[in-house]
Structure 1
């Protein structure tokens, strides 16, 4: 696998199925992706990941979805990990995603990370915005 830094994120060129980008772990304020510890919240796509400024659902903003909207392979939907517990998105973000035509599913961050992994192993085009948990 070759890592390339682009636009504040990491783009990964997969060399084979063993390189599939999955969430290896979460907690302690970050994630482990392909064996790399990443601090803070992230957007995970099929070919890389990008940092997210938000630390809580209330901090989440339209800008945090830019890397998803710019993805060359439009995801079928976005999994949104809302932290330790599942919570609803603020109305402005719900409206924004609906206007952009992006279906989304809300769940706690652990469930979103596990669901992302299962769907990626099924070769589904999915994105995950995961808020870090302690």
Structure 2
């Protein structure tokens, strides 16, 4: 029995991460990215401790807004200010913060389920 999730053609599947980069649907991206089901964007955020709502405009300004934003903070989970999470939530998506590996895996599962998901990912060296 094949248990591989079926991903519709043209969707952005996170295939690998590490060495400061990601491989998403066969393409290599160096540095931080934001992944949506339809496209992947290069991302230039502030340091985690200095993040503001402006860093997440590519997600919060999207119509329709994703239901869920997975924020991969690198090799380990680093939390953001509750006020930032609340500000993002006011714009639409629920924010789930985790290490980048967990965010990549969770994104792929939610993508396979057909959810409106986005992943803002900091690379792992």
Question: Do both proteins adopt the same fold according to a TM-score greater than 0.5, normalized to the shorter chain?
Answer: yes
**Displacement after TM superposition at 1:56 (Å):** 4.1
Query: Is the counterpart of residue 67 in structure 1 residue 58 in structure 2?
Result: yes
1:56 touches 1:82 (CA, 8 Å); kept in 2?
no
SS of the aligned residue for 1:54 comes to: coil
CA contact (8 A) 2:60 2:92 kept: no
Is the CA contact (8 Å cut-off) linking 1:57 and 1:83 kept in structure 2? no
**Equivalent residue for 1:116, pick from 82, 107, 124:** 107
Query: Shift in Å at residue 69 of structure 1?
Result: 1.7
1:91 positional shift: 4.1
Asked if the contact 1:62–1:93 (Cα under 8 Å) also holds between the matched residues in 2, the reply is yes
**Where does structure 2 lack aligned partners over 5 or more consecutive residues?**
1-6
**RMSD over aligned Cα atoms:** 1.9
TM superposition score normalised by structure 1: 0.79
Runs of 4+ in 1 over 3 A off after TM superposition: none
Query: Greater strand percent: which structure?
Result: 1
How far is 1:71 from its partner? 2.2
Give the aligned length: 119
Structure 2 counterpart of 1:90: 81
Counterpart contact for 1:21–1:47, Cα < 8 Å: yes
Give the TM-score normalised by the residue count of structure 2: 0.84
